[in-house]
A and B are shown apart, each in its own frame.
Chain A
Amino acid sequence: MNVLDITGVTKVYNPDTVPVHALRGVDLEVSAGEFTAIVGPSGSGKTTLLNLIGGLDRPTAGQIRINGIDLATLSANKLIDFRRDHIGFVFQSYNLIPVLTARENAEFVMLLQKRPRAEREARVTQLLREVGLEDRMDYRPTQLSGGQQQRVAVVRALAPRPRFILADEPTANLDSVSTANLLDIMARLNREEGVTFLFSTHDQRVIDRARRVVRLEDGQIVSDEVFDR
C-alpha cells in the first residue's frame, strides 16, 4: 500500500484578493521506504506541497491520503495528533527549542506522545549515537553547529517511528561538508529504519543522492524519475 496518495490537489493563496495559484492539479503516489526529492525553482510550490502533505495547511481542492486516511476528514485537533504520531518534520532552520538540550529536543515528540522514559532514552541515545552526536547530547542548540542542529532535528523527527519524514530544504543553510554528512545519515536511516523520506531541495548535490526525483514547475509536476542508487 502507498503511504501517500495525492489526487488533483490545487492550492490557491488569497483567493479573494490577489489569487496565487501555488499548486495546479498535483497527482502523486509515494510508497513505503522511498527516498524522494521534490525539486524545482523557487516559487514552484515545493514548500506548499510539503505543507499540505504534512497537514499544516489544507488544499483548495483535491485529496491527500496518508495510509489511506483522508486528511480532510480530521478535525483541527485530530490533525495535530495525527502529525505528532505519523509524520516527522524537519524544517530549513531553527527547528529546535532553544531552552532544551540536544537530547531533550530529540525526545520532545516522544514526550508529547507520553512514551515511557526508558523507551525514550534508549531510542534517542541510540539515534544520537548513530548521527555522531553522542558527545553533544547535553548541549543546547546555540552550542551546536547548523549541521549538528539539523541532525538533532532529524533524530527528533525519526524517534517516534513515523510513517514518513518531510524535510523542506533541510540542507539550505549548511555548507557542503555538513550537507553531505546529513544526507549520508538520512540515507542510512532510510535504509536501516525503513522510514520514508520526502525532501525538497534545489541543491544539485542533494538531488544526485535521491532515488526518485519529482520535479515541480509552476505548481505542476513536470517530471518524475526513478534512479537505481
Chain B
Amino acid sequence: MRTLVVLAWRNIWRNKRRTWITAASIFFAVLLSTLMVSIQKGAWDRMEESVVNYYFGYVQIHGRGYWEDRSIDRAFAETDSLRRLVEEIPGVETTVPRLESFALAAHGERTLGVMAVGIDPEREHAMTRLRERLVQGSYFEDDEEAVLVAEGMAERLDIQAGDTLVLLSQGYHGVNAAGKYVVKGLIHFGSPELNRLMVYLPLPVAQYFYGADGLITSIALKVTEKDDVPQILATLQQRLDTTRYEVMDWHQMMPELVEARAVDTAGNYLMLLILYLIVSFGIFGTILMMTAERTYEFGVLVAIGMRRLQLSVEVWLEVLFIALLGTLLGFLASFPLVYYFHRHPIDLSGSPEMAETYAQFGFEPVFPAAFEPMVFLGQAIVVFIITSVLALYPFWKIGRLQPVTAMRH
C-alpha cells in the first residue's frame, strides 16, 4: 500500500499543469459551496432562532384546539400541579405562561390590529430576554396598568413611552374588553412581523382586561437543548391529559417556516448539484487522459506481475490526491471567509427594498454565515464520493486490460 501511495503521489506531478487545473476546479467548487451552504444555513438558523427565542419557544402547551382557532375561550388555569409537572421534565428550563388574543390598538387618530399578550414579567424575561430588548422607557411590574409596545407598531401608531394606548377587544366568552394603558417602554423584535404586532401587558392586568380571571391560553417552554425537543414533546404527550391540552413543537406551530426553508434548501442543493456535475466532467476528462496516455505503462506493470486491483487502486489514489488537494485548498480559503461572514453578517437592512422583501417572510435581512464543521465535512464527503464514483472508470478499464494489447500501443 505504501508503494501505491508513493506511486500515486509522484504520478500526479508528472503533469503539473493538469493536476493544478483539476485541483483548481475542485477548489472553486468547494469554496463556492461551503460559502453558499454556510450562508444559507446561517440565515435560516438565525431566523428560526429569532422566531423561537424572541417569542414562540421550541415547545408550547395550549388548551386543546387553541392553535387551530386562536380562541381565548380555550383558555385554562395554570395550576401549581400543572406547572410542576411540566418543569419537572428533564431539559425544561422554565415555563412561561401567557394569555394572548387579538385586539384593536388606538392612539390619537390611528388604529391597528395587534396581539395583546398578558405575561409574567419575570418568567417572560427568563426565556425571551424581554427586558434587554427595551429600546425606550422601562420594564413593567407584575400589576402595573401599563403596556410594552413593539417598536414597529409604535412607529405606526406614532406612540412613545409615556403616551397612553387604548385597547379594545372581545374577551373571554364574548365579554367586552376595553382599557387605557400607559406605554411604559418600546421593545425590539428580530422578526419584523412580531415587531409590528406585539403589545405586552402584565398577566393580571391582561386577565382583568379580557375578563379571564386566573386563566392563560398558552405555556411556552424554555428548553436547554434544542436536540431534546422530541423527547420533551413525547414526555408531555404522555403525562398531560390530551383531551384537555395540546402540545406542539415549533415545527407544528410554524409549518410555513419549515416548508420555506425546505424549498430554499432544495433550490440550493440543485445549484450545488449542477456545480458539481460540471466539476465532475472536468475530473473525468483528467481521468480519461491519465488512463489513455499510460496504457503501455499499465501493460508493462500487469505483465511484470502487478495485480489489476493494485493498479486500479493506485489510479484511484491519484484522483483522490488531486481531489484532496483541491478540497484542502478550498477549505483553507473558505475557512476565513466563512468565519468572516459568521462574525460580520451580511446586512441588507441598508437597502430598504431588500429589507421589505425579507420582512414579508418575517425576518431581519441580516445573514450571519453558519460556521460549522458539518458543512465542511459534508463537502469533503461529496468530493470523496464523486472522485470514487469517477474512479470506477479506470477500475473498469484496467480490469479489462490485456498486457499484450496494451503494449502494442
Contact = CB atoms under 8 A, between A and B. Distances in A.
Interface stretch (B27-35, B57-65, B191-199, B296-304): B296-304
A98 B298 CA distance: 12
B297 A56 contact: no
15 contacts: A56-B402, A56-B404, A80-B306, A80-B308, A83-B305, A84-B304, A95-B300, A98-B14, A98-B297, A99-B11, A100-B7, A100-B10, A108-B304, A109-B305, A112-B305
A146 B56 CA distance: 80
A51 B130 CA distance: 86
A175 interface: no
Interface in A85-117: 85, 89, 91, 94-95, 97-100, 108-109, 111-113
A112 B300 CA distance: 14
Main secondary structure of the interface of B (DSSP, over half): helix
B307 interface: yes
Contacts of A40: none
B289 to A, nearest CB: 16
Contacts of B404: 51, 56-57
Contacts of B402: 56-57
A14 B3 CA distance: 38
Interface string B1-23: 00100010011011000000000
B304 A156 contact: yes
B113 interface: no
B305 A97 contact: no
Nearest to B13: A99
A91 B303 CA distance: 10
B385 interface: no
A141 to B, nearest CB: 11
Contacts of B303: 54, 56, 83, 89, 91
Contact of B305 (A51, A84, A94, A99): A84
B407 A91 contact: yes
A51 B406 CA distance: 13
B300 A94 contact: yes
Interface residues of A, number: 25
Contact of A99 (B7, B307, B308, B407): B7
Contact of A94 (B7, B14, B297, B306): B297
A157 B301 CA distance: 12
Given A51-B404, A56-B402, A81-B305, 8 more contacts: A91-B407, A97-B7, A97-B297, A100-B10, A108-B304, A109-B304, A111-B3, A156-B304
B91 interface: no
Contact of B300 (A51, A91, A100): A91
A124 to B, nearest CB: 14
B4 to A, nearest CB: 10
